[in-house]
Chains A and B, each alone.
Chain A
Amino acid sequence: MERGYRIRSKPNYETLMWREKASAQVVVAKGAGGLAVLQLFQQMYPTQPVTVFYVRGNGSDTDHSATLARVVGDAIKLFDSETDALYAFYRSLPDFRMGTRFYVSGTESFMWSLCKLAKLFDIQESEIMMELSNSLARPVYCVHCKGTTPDVTTNIATCSKCSRKLFVRDHFSRHLGAYMGLMVDAENPGEVPEIEEIYP
Chain B
Amino acid sequence: MSTLNVRVAAIEQVTPLVKHFTLMREDGQHFPTFSGGSHVVVAMDINGRTHRNAYSLMGSPDDTEAYHISVRRQEHSRGGSVFMHDNVVEGSQLQITMPVNLFSLSKMGRKHILIAGGIGITPFMSQLHDIQRNGYNYELHYAFRSLEHGAFSDQLKARCGNHAHIYVDRLGQKLDLRELLGSQPLGTHVYVCGPSSMVTAVLETARELGWPENHIHSEQFTAPPMGDAFTVQLAKSKTEITVPNDITLLEALETAGVNPDSLCRGGACGRCELDVLELDGEIFHHDHYLSDAEKASNRKIMPCVSRARCTHMLLDI
A residues near B (Cβ < 8 Å) are 19, 21-24, 93-94, 96-101, 121-124, 126-127
Which residue in B106, B108, B184, B208 is a CB contact (below 8 Å) of A98? B184
Provide a sorted-by-A list of 16 A–B residue pairs whose CB atoms are within 8 angstroms: A21-B207, A21-B209, A22-B209, A23-B209, A97-B184, A98-B187, A98-B209, A99-B209, A99-B210, A99-B211, A100-B186, A100-B210, A121-B186, A122-B106, A123-B186, A126-B212
In the complex, what residues of A have CB within 8 A of residue B183's CB? 97
In the complex, what residues of A have CB within 8 A of residue B212's CB? 124, 126-127
Main secondary structure of the interface of B (DSSP, over half): loop
- Tell me whether A97 and B208 are in contact in the complex, defined as CB-CB below 8 angstroms, given that A122-B108, A122-B110, A126-B214 are known contacts: no
Complex: A94 Cα to B185 Cα, angstroms: 7
In the complex, what residues of B have CB within 8 A of residue A96's CB? 185-186
Chain B interface size range: 20 to 34
| B182 interface contact, C-beta 8 A | yes
Which residue in A19, A21, A98 is a CB contact (below 8 Å) of B188? A98
Contact B185 A98 (CB under 8 A): yes
* 8 more CB-based (< 8 A) A-B contacts, given A98-B185, A121-B110, A122-B106: A19-B210, A21-B209, A22-B210, A96-B185, A96-B186, A97-B183, A121-B186, A123-B187
- Tell me whether A98 and B110 are in contact in the complex, defined as CB-CB below 8 angstroms, given that A21-B208, A21-B210, A22-B210 are known contacts: no
B residues near A (Cβ < 8 Å) are 106, 108-110, 181-188, 207-212, 214-215
Complex: A99 Cα to B205 Cα, angstroms: 10
Which residue in B181, B188, B209, B214 is a CB contact (below 8 Å) of A124? B214
- Tell me whether A98 and B181 are in contact in the complex, defined as CB-CB below 8 angstroms, given that A121-B186, A121-B187 are known contacts: yes
Min CB distance, A20 to chain B, in Å? Answer: 9
Complex: A98 Cα to B108 Cα, angstroms: 15
In the complex, what residues of A have CB within 8 A of residue B188's CB? 98
Main secondary structure of the interface of A (DSSP, over half): loop
In the complex, what residues of A have CB within 8 A of residue B185's CB? 94, 96-98
Min CB distance, A149 to chain B, in Å? Answer: 28
Complex: A60 Cα to B188 Cα, angstroms: 40
Q: Which residue of A lies closest to B208 (CB)?
A: A21
For the complex of A and B, the 10 pairs showing the least CB-CB separation, nearest first, are: A122-B187, A99-B210, A22-B210, A99-B209, A98-B184, A127-B212, A121-B186, A122-B108, A121-B187, A21-B210
A-B contacts, CB under 8 A, total: 57
Min CB distance, A92 to chain B, in Å? Answer: 10
Complex: A123 Cα to B209 Cα, angstroms: 16
Contact A99 B182 (CB under 8 A): yes
In the complex, what residues of B have CB within 8 A of residue A23's CB? 182, 209-210
Select the residue from B108, B182, B210, B212 with max chain A CB neighbours within 10 A: B210
Contact B108 A97 (CB under 8 A): no
Min CB distance, A150 to chain B, in Å? Answer: 26
Contact B210 A122 (CB under 8 A): no
Min CB distance, B162 to chain A, in Å? Answer: 21
Contact B207 A98 (CB under 8 A): no
Q: Which residue of A lies closest to B108 (CB)?
A: A122
Select the residue from A23, A93, A96, A101 with max chain B CB neighbours within 10 A: A23
In the complex, what residues of B have CB within 8 A of residue A122's CB? 106, 108-110, 186-187, 215
Q: Which residue of B lies closest to A128 (CB)?
A: B212
Complex: A123 Cα to B187 Cα, angstroms: 6
In the complex, what residues of A have CB within 8 A of residue B186's CB? 93-94, 96-98, 100, 121-123
Complex: A21 Cα to B211 Cα, angstroms: 8
Select the residue from A24, A98, A100, A127 with max chain B CB neighbours within 10 A: A98
Select the residue from B186, B209, B211, B214 with max chain A CB neighbours within 10 A: B186
Q: Which residue of A lies closest to B188 (CB)?
A: A98
In the complex, what residues of B have CB within 8 A of residue A99's CB? 181-182, 209-211
In the complex, what residues of A have CB within 8 A of residue B208's CB? 21
Min CB distance, A196 to chain B, in Å? Answer: 41
In the complex, what residues of A have CB within 8 A of residue B106's CB? 122
In the complex, what residues of A have CB within 8 A of residue B210's CB? 19, 21-24, 98-101
Which residue in A98, A121, A126 is a CB contact (below 8 Å) of B211? A98
Complex: A72 Cα to B108 Cα, angstroms: 34
Min CB distance, A120 to chain B, in Å? Answer: 9
Contact B214 A98 (CB under 8 A): no
Complex: A122 Cα to B186 Cα, angstroms: 7
Q: Which residue of B lies closest to A122 (CB)?
A: B187
Complex: A25 Cα to B183 Cα, angstroms: 15
Complex: A25 Cα to B115 Cα, angstroms: 27
